[in-house]
Amino acid sequence: MHRFQINIGDGSGDGHGIKEPRIIDCSLTLEEFTEAYEKACKITNFQWHTNGNSTSREGTWLNSEFKILNDYQVDRLTEPQKEMFKKHNIDTIEDFSFETDEVLKLFVAFVKIGNPTLEYNVVVNSQFQTFDHSVGYGAFDN
């Protein structure tokens, strides 16, 4: 297993400044996890991170409906996002406000679209590497 951190919320600290990092033990290396995430973005045409475009859609800045829980105070999925998760047999909840563990579960389920062999466990207190995108920015309200 490989151990690394996933930042949920404002990982860069340049917005609302709230983040809750989660450390996971993962069957994939950080590089493989990142590749699986990028592949899931291409397969679904949705992404979690703010900057750039990892989907197959045209343009460099996507509309927020294609960025999952990404805009400030947007703690609910859009209808197209719900449909995408349903298409991939992923259950969702209605409101992600301050639901860090639910954001993590949904995010990892999304990454599994890119690599179905992914397995993970949440761990507490240890040394780790960090996944280079923050996810779930909209799940927090200042």
Structure tokens at 33: 């996890």
pLDDT over 90 percentage in the chain: 41
Q: The domain containing residue 97 runs over which residues?
A: 2-139
3-state helix, strand, coil in the chain (%, to 5): 30, 20, 50
Mean of the pLDDT values across residues 9-20?
A: 66
How many structural domains is the chain composed of?
1
Tell me the residue ranges of DSSP E strands in 15-84: 19-26
The residue among 7 and 85 whose pLDDT is bigger is 85
Contact between 67 and 110 under an 8 Å Cβ cutoff? The reply is no
What would the two tokens of residue 91 be?
Answer: 């259950």
What's this model's pTM, rounded to 2 decimal places? 0.81
pLDDT band of residue 110 (cuts 50, 70, 90) is very high
